[in-house]
Amino acid sequence: MTSANIILDNVRKSYGTVQVIPGLSAEIEAGSFTVILGPSGCGKSTLLNMLAGLEEISGGRILIGGREVQNTPPKDRGLAMVFQNYALYPHMTVAQNIGYALKVAGVPKTDRARRVREAADFVELGAYLDRRPGQLSGGQRQRVAIARAIVREPQVLLYDEPLSNLDAKLRHGMRMELSQLHTRIGATSVFVTHDQVEAMTLADRIMILNAGRIEQYGTPQEIYHKPASVFVAGFIGAPPMNLLDGVVEKGTLIFEKTTLGQTEARDGPVKIGVRPEKTLLGQIGPEATTVYAEDLGSHRIVVVKAANGQQLQISTTQTAELSDSLTIGLPPESIHLFDVASGARLEHEVRASNPRLSSRLRKAGEL
């Protein structure tokens, strides 16, 4: 199968006076697996439906494989879509469901039968061709929906939350299958979800949407290690990044009267971000009280409250008894800084004020 790139050029969407997407520009690379991630109502489905041609755009251009398609009917855009609710015909067999679009398109019967069989084999449903959707499990139904999409040999495959009806174990299995499927068929995949685990594991690139705007568009690694904003930092990671109110005074970063390090960031208030897995328990640093602890077997999530009332989550494999009051370590090399007003990432590093202390913190983190 071939793939095509997608260019969104200042694409806008309003319903009446309500602007859902204010003007979005991005390129989705040919053959990539791109995930559109964001909270409920941010415009993910709207964007996907505009790509598919199921929703008209209010302005801008959409190009698929270099061809302007915003005025092209859905069936002529070279794409296929997989929905959350599968949308299978209950009275048709698996084979009929998969082959329906080909039948409508007038593909000859023998050709159709071969392509249906190939698509079914692709998703390992070859033995189920005569069953009806009601006689299949949720995961199998989802695979029929995928076979029905790929049988048309689209250049672009669009998925809108296709796994959200499945239980956790099945989701994991389907994630692996989708990833392998993508490698085998090579079509450009655009996948909408609000599940950050799906996004992190499936994507070549993640587009994070917030109220119809792109907050960040990058690889899962970039988004995890260099979140572009407070919004992204608080959205990615389980538990998400701790975001604390700090201050820079004459180049020194301070949280709760404790010096965390030296920085070039401008003097004044600043948001300090540290991931729960980088936040240390019982180290030299700000004082806190234990609020709650959860034992997940492999590690614990400990919730603590700093003196200023802000809560932090700490993900730790340390097994020491938890006391009511403790100190927390915020290693300088794990600190992200964000602008308080705009929420934007500040590209300033935090260096240890006291290198000996820093190396002790680091060692503690490696234990």
**Residue ranges binding ligand ATP (CB under 6 A):** 15, 18, 20, 38, 40-46, 194
Report if residue 46 touches Mg ion, rule: CB under 5 A.
no
Answer for which of 3, 32, 34, 45 binds Mg ion (CB under 5 A) is 45
**Closest separation between CB of residue 360 and Mg ion, Å?**
48
Q: Comparing C-alpha atoms, which of 294, 295, 314 is closest to residue 304?
A: 314
Q: Comparing C-alpha atoms, which of 133, 130, 135 is closest to residue 117?
A: 130
Is 78 within 8 Å of 4 (Cβ atoms)?
yes
**Closest separation between CB of residue 327 and Mg ion, Å?**
44
Q: CB nearer to ligand ATP: give 8 or 304.
A: 8
**Closest separation between CB of residue 86 and Mg ion, Å?**
15
Q: Comparing C-alpha atoms, which of 28, 35, 32 is closest to residue 62?
A: 28
Q: CB nearer to ligand ATP: give 40 or 221.
A: 40
Amino acid at 107: V
Q: Comparing C-alpha atoms, which of 57, 67, 76, 63 is closest to residue 15?
A: 57
**Closest separation between CB of residue 218 and Mg ion, Å?**
22
Longest dimension (CA), the chain: 77
CA distance 164 to 178: 14
Binding partner of residue 15 among Mg ion, ligand ATP, none, CB under 5 to 8 Å per kind? ligand ATP
Q: CB nearer to Mg ion: give 45 or 229.
A: 45
Is 274 within 8 Å of 225 (Cβ atoms)?
no
3-state SS class at 153: coil
Binding partner of residue 170 among ligand ATP, Mg ion, none, CB under 5 to 8 Å per kind? none
Q: Where are the alpha helices (DSSP H) in 186-273?
A: 196-202, 220-225, 230-235
Count of residues in contact with Mg ion, rule CB under 5 A? 1
**Closest separation between CB of residue 251 and Mg ion, Å?**
46
Report if residue 49 touches Mg ion, rule: CB under 5 A.
no
Which pair of tokens denotes residue 264? 């070039």
Q: CB nearer to ligand ATP: give 232 or 352.
A: 232
**Footprint (CB under 5 A) of Mg ion, residues 170-199:** none
Q: Which residues bind Mg ion (CB under 5 A)?
A: 45
